[in-house]
Amino acid sequence: MLISLAWKNVWRNKKRSFIILTAIALGLWAGLFSYAAMYGMWDATVNSAIDRDLGHIEIHSKAFAKEKLIENYISDGNQIEAEAKKVKGVKEISSRTLIEGMASSAATSWGVTIEGINPTKEQKVTSIKDLIISGNYFEGKRKNQIVISQKLADKLGIKLKSKMVLSFQALDGSLIYAAFRVVGIFRTESSIFDASHVFVTQKDIYKVMGSKPIVHEIAIRAASSLAVDGLLNNLKQRFPNLDVQSWKTLAPELSLTYNSLQLEMNIFLGIILFALLFGITNTMLMSVMDRIRELGVLMAVGMKRVRLFTLIIIETILLSITGGIIGIIMGTITTIYFSSKGIDLSLFAEGLSSFGIGTMLYPSLPASAYPTLTIMILVTAIFSAVYPALKAIRLNPSEAIRTY
């Protein structure tokens, strides 16, 4: 009965209720869409990092995890790769030879990480092949092929088919200089990665070094992103003497950003609801003042003050929840639309690339956002109803009845 009466009271003054409903709906719509945009940006950054280089899980020797030296390779790396491939949940796997060195042209030199890869395996784990903007991804049989980024090519003043020299320290401590020809140029979302990584084939780097096959890193692509934690535990048990880490540990800044993002967006939505709290309180106070005589009559005929207090609370909750539902629906529809169309941020490409963020933003909302928001709306409604409800139950029935 109270709910039915409260709903009728909400719509007694349609204009006033409509204004506050609109304010709640627009506030939540703006807040939700901002949340979706920020979450979509974080999600795109994570996916780009995983696709670009990290994979879901990486395996290193414990020594390499502490100090990335050429001699800290995985013993029997190829055998470890073969065993890891058989673990349930592993979709694709690729071993890498990582060497810190210098890339030089006739004009200048630049410090880089030289990644020796098996192109056939690597293209199933990462997306560098799909990001080639000129040339190809190790398609010919020519020896000493190298794939570099557009940013590094600009720094070195070279182009497709140019020769460049890689210099690095070999396992025996000697310095090696080897000439490579650029067969492909790529561009990723991260300018930092682009400026510091070059790719060559493992067979070429082994031949140049005159060494046996060595593996510093094994990158793994899980069958499902939801199964990464379980797969991580399985691999840790399988290879206790190796350092096995997921992307969350390899790129802790991404996890930290997500935790900070959740906190920041909850605070942001809280500020919006806090601002709306005053509007809701004012609306309900006006509603109470308009019905002083009616409230006095209700108390005079026997309505308990607790029930009257509850009535005002329910009216406020119904008003807030209705506006909240409209705002959530608007925010969800807007998010769904732009999640498929995308938002072009190419005007800010230079700045975004510094953070590894692409120029197309696809907003998305995690399911966890809705329960949190619903609780926040309910809390706001209850707080905004307390003062008007207290004002109502403090009325003197005899005086209220004589009020016109």
End-to-end Cα separation, the chain, in angstroms: 27
| Cα–Cα distance measured from residue 209 to residue 229, given in angstroms and rounded to the nearest whole number | 37
Q: 89: which residues sit within 8 A by CB, 6+ positions away?
A: 222, 223, 224, 227, 230, 231, 234
- Answer yes or no: do 30 and 121 share one domain: no
Query: Are 200 and 145 contacting, i.e. CB atoms less than 8 angstroms apart?
Result: yes
Structure tokens given for 34: 């901002």
Structure tokens given for 218: 């094994």
Q: 4: which residues sit within 8 A by CB, 6+ positions away?
A: none
DSSP class of 346 = G
- Answer yes or no: do 170 and 111 share one domain: yes
Does any domain span residue 126?
A: yes
**Does the pLDDT of residue 288 top 70, yes or no?**
yes
- Answer yes or no: do 311 and 190 share one domain: no
Closest CA to 190 of 229, 216, 161, 151: 151
Query: What is residue 118's predicted lDDT score, i.e. its pLDDT?
Result: 93
Does any domain span residue 236?
A: no
% of the chain surpassing 90 pLDDT: 33
Q: What is the tens place of the pLDDT at every residue in 306-341?
A: 888 888 888 888 888 888 899 889 989 998 888 888
Out of 19-28, 34-43, 55-64, least confident range: 34-43
SS3 content of the chain, % helix, strand, coil (to 5): 60, 20, 20
Q: How many contiguous H segments (helices) and E segments (strands) does the chain have?
A: 16, 12
- Specify the amino acid at residue 18: F
User: What is the rounded average pLDDT for all residues in the chain?
Assistant: 86
Query: What is residue 372's predicted lDDT score, i.e. its pLDDT?
Result: 82
- Specify the amino acid at residue 58: E
CA triple 311-315-319, angle to 5 deg: 170
Does any domain span residue 333?
A: yes
- Specify the amino acid at residue 359: T
Does any domain span residue 26?
A: yes
- Answer yes or no: do 201 and 162 share one domain: yes
Does any domain span residue 180?
A: yes
- Answer yes or no: do 86 and 122 share one domain: yes
- Answer yes or no: do 85 and 193 share one domain: yes
Q: What is the tens place of the pLDDT at every residue in 222-272?
A: 988 778 889 999 999 999 999 999 988 888 777 777 777 778 788 888 888
pLDDT band for position 404 (50/70/90)?
low
Q: 154: which residues sit within 8 A by CB, 6+ positions away?
A: none
| Cα–Cα distance measured from residue 43 to residue 255, given in angstroms and rounded to the nearest whole number | 11
pLDDT band for position 356 (50/70/90)?
low
Does any domain span residue 132?
A: yes
Q: What is the tens place of the pLDDT at every residue in 63-82?
A: 988 888 889 999 888 899 99
| Cα–Cα distance measured from residue 315 to residue 2, given in angstroms and rounded to the nearest whole number | 9
* Residue with the two structure tokens 């009325």: 395
- Of 13 and 120, the structure prediction assigns the larger pLDDT to 120
As to burial, measured by CB atoms within 10 angstroms (0-12 exposed, 13-18 middle, 19+ buried), residue 144 is middle
Decide: helix, strand or coil at residue 184. strand
- Which domain covers residue 136, as residue numbers? 69-215
| Cα–Cα distance measured from residue 347 to residue 368, given in angstroms and rounded to the nearest whole number | 32
- Answer yes or no: do 17 and 144 share one domain: no
- Specify the amino acid at residue 132: I
pLDDT band for position 353 (50/70/90)?
low
Decide: helix, strand or coil at residue 161. coil
Query: Are 52 and 127 contacting, i.e. CB atoms less than 8 angstroms apart?
Result: yes
- Answer yes or no: do 350 and 397 share one domain: yes
pLDDT band for position 155 (50/70/90)?
very high
- Answer yes or no: do 97 and 192 share one domain: yes
- Of 351 and 392, the structure prediction assigns the larger pLDDT to 392
- Answer yes or no: do 75 and 15 share one domain: no
Does any domain span residue 153?
A: yes
| Cα–Cα distance measured from residue 80 to residue 238, given in angstroms and rounded to the nearest whole number | 10
pLDDT band for position 1 (50/70/90)?
low
Q: Which of 164, 193, 215 is the last residue of a domain?
A: 215
Domain count, the chain: 2
Query: What is residue 262's predicted lDDT score, i.e. its pLDDT?
Result: 76
pLDDT band for position 350 (50/70/90)?
low
Other residues' Cβ atoms within 10 Å of the Cβ of residue 375: 10
Average pLDDT over residues 171-182: 90
- Answer yes or no: do 7 and 133 share one domain: no
Closest CA to 229 of 366, 368, 89, 91: 89
Query: What is residue 387's predicted lDDT score, i.e. its pLDDT?
Result: 87
| Cα–Cα distance measured from residue 272 to residue 234, given in angstroms and rounded to the nearest whole number | 45
| Cα–Cα distance measured from residue 115 to residue 64, given in angstroms and rounded to the nearest whole number | 15
Q: What is the tens place of the pLDDT at every residue in 201-231?
A: 999 999 998 888 899 999 999 988 778 889 9
Closest CA to 345 of 355, 357, 335, 336: 357
- Answer yes or no: do 160 and 21 share one domain: no
| Cα–Cα distance measured from residue 32 to residue 140, given in angstroms and rounded to the nearest whole number | 50
Query: What is residue 364's predicted lDDT score, i.e. its pLDDT?
Result: 83
Q: Which of 162, 195, 215 is the last residue of a domain?
A: 215
Query: Are 2 and 311 contacting, i.e. CB atoms less than 8 angstroms apart?
Result: yes
Does any domain span residue 234?
A: no
| Entry pTM | 0.74
